[in-house]
Amino acid sequence: PASAPAHRPLPKAELHLHIEGTLEPGLAFTLAERNGVTLPYATEDELRRAYSFSDLQSFLNLYYALMEVLRTEDDFADLAHAYLARAKEQGVRHAEIFFDPQAHTSRGVPLGTVIRGLARALDAAPEAYGITTRLIMCFLRDESAESALATFEAARPYLDRITAVGLDSAEVGHPPSKFQEVFALAREAGLKCVAHAGEEGPAAYVWEALDLLGVDRVDHGVRCMEDERLVARLVADRIPLTVCPLSNVRLRVVDDLADHPLPAMLDAGLLVTVNSDDPAYFGGYADDNFTAVRDALGLDDATLRTLARNSFLASFLDEETRAAYL
Ligand code: ADE
Ligand code: ZN
């Protein structure tokens, strides 16, 4: 595996992590061979060279294509184990993990296969890696509202394993308002709610996520900085934002890490956390993101400790467990 940090990483929670986005080229080829899937790349190096993105969609195309290798319960368990081993090296003590059921069920992989495979690894994680976990089931916003509703109904037998619902995939043209009904059902079922908003989409989508979906956290949310009233609302309601700095650079949400709005967000009083999004694709896991913002933005140790503390404050851990980390 790639380098563990040289320093001792701060203990932290990872709150924005797509498990499918942790599929490293090596494991992709291993699973392709195991399942008799032919990848459109001859070697790991050739695949790695495809990791050059112009926007969110150009990344999503590769992200969905590579999922082809994930077919069995073992595949999902192996994927999650590989992530957890990396996360441990990066100081992650708690991980709230997204998965995209529709990206698998649409390929004929049953929802139960996905959830049982992931759950097998997550159940072993406290003992094996010293990491507690939660699962967040995301709806693909570029699929229909009906498909999201059908996915939620299919997940009812597994809701005891799922902490929250989320919303991801291609943002522009697919506002949160499209998913009001399924989020209302999730809330009625006692689940927390999060949504990607204000990554490529406008600040208006963050308003919708708050007012129409009732989200407990906003994923990305960096474009909130274009709307002063929205920032005031997020601060007043203590709504956490799960920011993903290396992702924002690779998907050209920001031109350069040195231009990232993270310091301005902290100065505005927002409850900001730093996360890795799709670390196999974006060049770094949780602590790699901490190190990158430290170096590019000149964050001091106190600010890094605030970010680590925020990650626990913003988590869905129960009060008692959370308090032990603060
Ligand atoms: N799915 C995986 N990563 C994503 C991201 N950064 N934005 C939207 N959907 C995603
Ligand atoms: Zn994401």
The whole domain housing 64 covers 12-317
Is the model's pLDDT at 1 over the cut of 50? no
User: How much distance in Å is there from the Cα of 203 to the middle of ligand 1?
Assistant: 17
Structural domain count of the chain: 1
Residue with tokens 């600010």: 303
Give the separation between CA 25 and CA 192, rounded to whole angstroms.
33
Q: Token pair of 90, please?
A: 């990066």
322 part of a folded domain: no
Coil, strand or helix at 208: helix
* CB distance 276 to 16 below 8 Å: yes
- CA 190 to the chain's CA centroid: 21
| CA atoms within 13 A of residue 51's CA, in its CB half-sphere | 20
27 part of a folded domain: yes
- Beta bridge partners of residue 138, listed in sequence order: 166
Q: Is the CB of 201 under 6 A from ligand 1?
A: no
Work out the mean pLDDT of the chain and round it to a whole number: 97
Is the model's pLDDT at 6 over the cut of 90? no
Alpha-carbon dihedral 74, 76, 82, 87, rounded to 10 degrees: -140
User: How much distance in Å is there from the Cα of 141 to the middle of ligand 1?
Assistant: 10
Angle between helix axes 180-188 and 145-155 (nearest 10 degrees) is 20
Instruction: Say if residue 16 carries a ligand binding annotation.
Output: yes
User: For the residues 109-117, what does the mean pLDDT come to?
Assistant: 98
Is the model's pLDDT at 30 over the cut of 90? yes
Told to judge if 199 belongs to the known catalytic residues of this protein, a careful annotator would answer yes
Q: Is the CB of 278 under 6 A from ligand 1?
A: yes
pLDDT in tens, 118-148: 999 999 999 999 999 999 999 999 999 999 9
Coil, strand or helix at 12: strand
- CATH number of the domain bearing residue 126: 3.20.20.140
Which of the 8 DSSP states describes residue 255? S
2 part of a folded domain: no
Which of the 8 DSSP states describes residue 69? G
Coil, strand or helix at 280: helix
5 part of a folded domain: no
pLDDT in tens, 203-247: 999 999 999 999 999 999 999 999 999 999 999 999 999 999 999
Is the model's pLDDT at 38 over the cut of 90? yes
pLDDT in tens, 69-90: 999 999 999 999 999 999 999 9
Is the model's pLDDT at 2 over the cut of 70? no
Query: Could you tell me which residues come within 8 angstroms of residue 79 by beta carbon, excluding any fewer than 6 positions away?
Result: 19, 20, 22, 23, 27, 70, 117, 118, 121
45 part of a folded domain: yes
7 part of a folded domain: no
pLDDT in tens, 255-314: 999 999 999 999 999 999 999 999 999 999 999 999 999 999 999 999 999 999 999 999
pLDDT (0 to 100) of residue 5: 84
Instruction: Say if residue 277 carries a ligand binding annotation.
Output: yes
Q: Token pair of 189, please?
A: 């079922």
Side chain identity at residue 35, one-letter code: N
203 part of a folded domain: yes
pLDDT in tens, 51-60: 999 999 999 9
Instruction: Say if residue 278 carries a ligand binding annotation.
Output: yes
Q: Is the CB of 25 under 6 A from ligand 1?
A: no
Coil, strand or helix at 148: helix
Ligand 1: which residue has its CA nearest to atom 6?
A: 277
Give the separation between CA 109 and CA 117, rounded to whole angstroms.
12
Tell me the pLDDT band of 319, cut-offs 50, 70 and 90.
very high
Q: What is the ipTM of this complex?
A: 0.98
pLDDT (0 to 100) of residue 4: 80
Strand boundaries in the chain, DSSP class E: 12-18, 92-99, 132-140, 164-168, 192-197, 217-220, 241-243, 272-274
Please tell me whether the overall predicted TM-score, pTM, comes out greater than 0.90 for this model: yes
Name the residue among 281, 271, 199 with its Cα closest to residue 246: 281
| Active-site position among 143, 171, 199, 208 | 199
Flag the least confident range among 47-51, 176-180, 239-243.
Answer: 47-51
